[in-house]
Structure 1
């Protein structure tokens, strides 16, 4: 369900459940969190998905078993946020619901033109994960965060770029090639250099 690939100083994590739009189960979440925590010595972390959807969010059967309130969501987004190197979300398609948290925690977000972004917590009756609204508001501003979370709006890639929710639309759709290109400088630098510049970019 999760493919972990290491190439030099770059770790790539791929959601591998394309037949279910990469909907997240408890096992997948735990595997992702374990993998991110284990990758702390890497210079670059790339998150992506197999198929045409990055993730449809939480698996609805898993939601019935309590995944919506599991601490694993915060564990994962916190681990990505604490990753000392460059983290890149290479979004091969739409991002929905709780999957948004890991994307918001990344340093850089790139997406295919057909990607959409929505977090239907109002409609489904769940609260967003605790750190997600603050990270979302930091990127797009409080009003647009409310547009997504309270009004339940689906945001197309062009609007997401305008909002600051993503940093680049990859017009040819090859987000992995673009992520690899973005990773080159950090991958080739020393670990201390990468960590120092990442720390200097942190919010205070």
Structure 2
């Protein structure tokens, strides 16, 4: 359900469980965290999904059984945020729930026009993972973060772009092409220079 390809320094990670809207199980999250922890050798990383939804968030049965409060979410987002290479989330569709964490941890986010963004954690009776509100507020401010987390608003791709939650909106047929174009300079650069620039931008 997690696909990983490596080519010339580019790691492409794809969520591939479209019949369940790429809902995340504990096993999938652990595999994603392990990939992110191993990706220190990557020169760029692209995170995407198959189908019309990037991810519906946690698998609901597993969420109720304890996954919603597992530390694996923070393990995953922390590993992505710590990578020295350029990371791009190429959102092929809607982003929901805890799946926001790994996306917020990426350096750049691009999305298709049909994507929606929501995080109904409060409605489900859970707190968000600790770093998620901080990263979201750093991008879009505390009021808009509360619109998502407390007012339960679904944000369109256009609104997400206006807010600064995503950096570019592109048509589905060119989504991965644009993602690869965004990482092209980093793939060609001296990795130490690229990592140095990343540190300077924090």
TM range (shorter): over 0.9
Counterparts of 1:64 and 1:152, CA distance in 2: 20
Shift of 1:173: 4.1
- Unaligned 5+ runs, structure 1: none
Deviation per residue, 1:88-147 (Å, 9 max, x gap): 000000000000000100000000000000000121111101110010000000000000
- TM-score, with length taken from structure 1: 0.97
Aligned residue number for residue 101 of structure 1: 101
8 Å CA contact 2:92–2:172 kept in 1: the answer is no
Runs of 4+ in 1 over 6 A off after TM superposition: none
Aligned residue number for residue 72 of structure 1: 72
Counterparts of 1:145 and 1:166, CA distance in 2: 14
Aligned residue number for residue 26 of structure 1: 26
Counterparts of 2:165 and 2:149, CA distance in 1: 13
Counterparts of 2:44 and 2:172, CA distance in 1: 23
Counterparts of 1:131 and 1:172, CA distance in 2: 29
- TM-score, with length taken from structure 2: 0.98
Structural mapping, 1:143-162, within 5 Å: 143-162=143-162
User: Does 1:135 find its partner at 2:101?
Assistant: no
Aligned residue number for residue 56 of structure 2: 56
User: Does 1:122 find its partner at 2:150?
Assistant: no
8 Å CA contact 1:6–1:12 kept in 2: the answer is yes
Counterparts of 1:174 and 1:14, CA distance in 2: 16
Paired residue secondary structure (2:122): helix
Aligned residue number for residue 185 of structure 2: 185
Counterparts of 1:193 and 1:106, CA distance in 2: 19
Shift of 1:197: 0.7
Paired residue secondary structure (1:174): helix
- Unaligned 5+ runs, structure 2: none
Shift of 1:193: 1.1
Counterparts of 1:172 and 1:85, CA distance in 2: 25
